[in-house]
């Protein structure tokens, strides 16, 4: 699923570059806690989260997360956005709750390959 | 839909055997932040989380949630189970990650907002 | 219900095992007094968030409640770090919680805003290095 499709499904706004919409993700993971984000590393993935600090961006880079979408209209600060742009990690934000955002993406075919931990 | 039906459909493992599974589930909420659940979840919602400490029972009780599903194969603490039994809050577990559990709940017709 | 029902609970800092006990008991007392379920829920939520703040940040504290036919008044006072900037603390998402607290799911910066949302009056006084006193009031509708 491309970020462009995800943007449409979740009425999302792109915080980084518009060119990022071609990026393709094959699975999604949702996490509210840093330790959970840290424990997840599946390539070509989308992180769905409400955590907006710079640490999440750095973790995403290390964990090969392809893109991040923030739920419930939570927005990272300028520094985090700048870091993500530098690291070429697209950032989107949606007004949907975690539950509805995941639900909608799932209905359109996105899945999660993470093993239970 | 009834909690029992939801539990069977998702093959959830029930950790609180005496809990009332006949209750109606009105929607769903996914969050690991307790104040977020307190502020935004609605009565009758099913709560999907990876938190296992006993404060999740207090939150579920306060908000009148229909139950808690622990994702990623997380096992509740003993304290959590005792409190859940005492407060009649059903706790179920699933090996699936939150995204998958929520996806299936959503497909069954449960929504958040 | 003409008389005043009053009481207090002692709160121990970092006692996560018993966290929520005071607000749960208060909820029981309100239900016993036949307070309307919606108001019971609001009071319990506000009390819970206030109780959690004491347990997360302070050394110890007290929750004092006073219930009349007109109002539910709860005063939560603690010996803790105090709040440096109350306005800032009231903004959603602002938190001074350490990482281990956040990993438990607390400290997301919603506690004080949740209290404000569920109460009719809210007063916070604090002295950095000494402690905080939070007082909230919920109005009860006149009995039919």
Q: Domains (ranges, CATH) in chain A?
A: 3-107 (3.40.1390.20)
Say which CATH architecture domain C5-139 belongs to.
Answer: 2-Layer Sandwich (3.30)
Select from A31, A33, A49 the residue whose CB has the most chain C CBs within 10 Å, as the one to mutate to test that interface: A33
Topology of domain B3-107, CATH: 3.40.1390
In order of A99, C14, C57, C128, the CA distances from B56 in angstroms are 18, 16, 19, 31
DSSP class of C31: H
In DSSP terms, which residues pair with B48 in a beta bridge?
Answer: B30, B69
Question: What does pLDDT average to over chain B?
Answer: 95
Tokens of A117: 């931990």
Q: How far is C125 from chain A (nearest CA, A)?
A: 30
> Which one of A30, A96, A116 has the shortest CB-CB distance to B99?
A30
CA distance B81 to chain C (A): 13
Q: How confident is the model at residue A114 (pLDDT cuts 50, 70, 90)?
A: low
Nearest to B22 by CA among B85, B75, B104, B88: B88
Minimal Cβ distance to B103: which of A50, A103, A117 = A103
- Reduced to 3 states (helix: H, G, I; strand: E, B; else coil), residue A63 is coil
ipTM for the predicted complex: 0.96
Q: Give C-chain residues touching B55 at CB under 8 angstroms.
A: 16, 19-20, 52, 104-106
Mutation target among C92, C97, C103, C109 for the A interface, most CBs of A within 10 A: C103
Q: What does the pLDDT look like over C119-140, one tens digit per residue?
A: 999 999 999 999 999 999 999 9
pLDDT tens sequence across A65-99: 999 999 999 999 999 999 999 999 999 999 999 99
Do residues B60 and B67 lie in contact, with contact meaning Cβ atoms separated by under 8 Å? yes
Judged by CB atoms closer than 8 Å, whether chains meet at C106 and B51 is answered as no
C107 Cα to chain B: minimum distance (Å) = 8
Q: What are B22-42's pLDDT values in tens digits?
A: 999 999 999 999 999 999 999
Q: Tell me: pLDDT of A117 over 60.
A: no
In this prediction, residues C102-108 reach a mean pLDDT of 88
pLDDT of residue C1: 52
Q: How sure is the predictor about C17, in pLDDT bands with cuts at 50, 70 and 90?
A: confident
As a whole-number percent, the residues of chain B with pLDDT over 90 amount to 94
């Amino acid at each position: 699923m491309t970020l462009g499709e995800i943007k449409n499904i979740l009425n999302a706004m792109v915080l980084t570059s518009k060119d990022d919409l071609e990026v393709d993700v094959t699975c999604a993971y949702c996490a509210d806690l840093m330790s959970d984000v840290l424990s997840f590393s599946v390539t070509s993935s989308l992180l769905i989260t409400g955590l907006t600090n710079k640490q999440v961006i750095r973790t995403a880079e290390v964990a090969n997360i392809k893109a991040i979408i923030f739920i419930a209209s939570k927005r990272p600060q300028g520094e985090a956005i700048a870091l993500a742009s530098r690291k070429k990690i697209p950032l989107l934000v949606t007004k949907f709750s975690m539950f509805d955002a995941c639900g909608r993406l799932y209905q359109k075919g996105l899945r999660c390959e993470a093993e239970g931990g | 839909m009834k909690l029992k039906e939801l539990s069977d459909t998702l093959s959830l493992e029930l950790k609180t055997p005496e809990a009332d599974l006949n209750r109606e589930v009105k929607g769903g909420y996914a969050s690991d932040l307790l104040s977020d659940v307190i502020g935004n979840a609605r009565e009758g919602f099913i709560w999907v989380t990876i938190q296992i400490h006993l404060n999740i029972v207090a939150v579920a009780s306060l908000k009148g949630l229909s139950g808690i599903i622990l994702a990623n194969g997380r096992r509740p603490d003993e304290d959590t189970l005792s409190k859940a039994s005492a407060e009649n809050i059903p706790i179920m577990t699933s090996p699936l990650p939150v995204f998958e559990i929520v996806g299936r709940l959503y497909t069954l017709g449960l929504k958040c907002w | 219900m003409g008389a005043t029902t009053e009481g207090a609970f002692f709160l121990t800092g970092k006692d996560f095992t018993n966290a929520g006990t005071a607000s749960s008991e208060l909820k029981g007392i309100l239900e016993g007094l036949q307070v309307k379920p919606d108001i019971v829920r609001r009071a319990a939520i506000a009390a819970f968030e206030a109780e959690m703040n004491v347990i997360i940040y302070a050394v110890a504290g007290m929750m004092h409640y006073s219930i009349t036919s007109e109002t539910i008044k709860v005063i939560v006072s603690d010996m803790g770090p105090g709040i440096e900037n109350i306005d800032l603390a009231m903004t959603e998402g602002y938190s001074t919680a350490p990482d281990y607290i956040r990993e438990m799911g607390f400290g997301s910066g919603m506690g004080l805003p949740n209290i404000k949302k569920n109460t009719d009056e809210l007063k916070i006084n604090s002295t950095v290095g000494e402690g905080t006193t939070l007082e909230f009031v919920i109005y009860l509708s006149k009995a039919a």
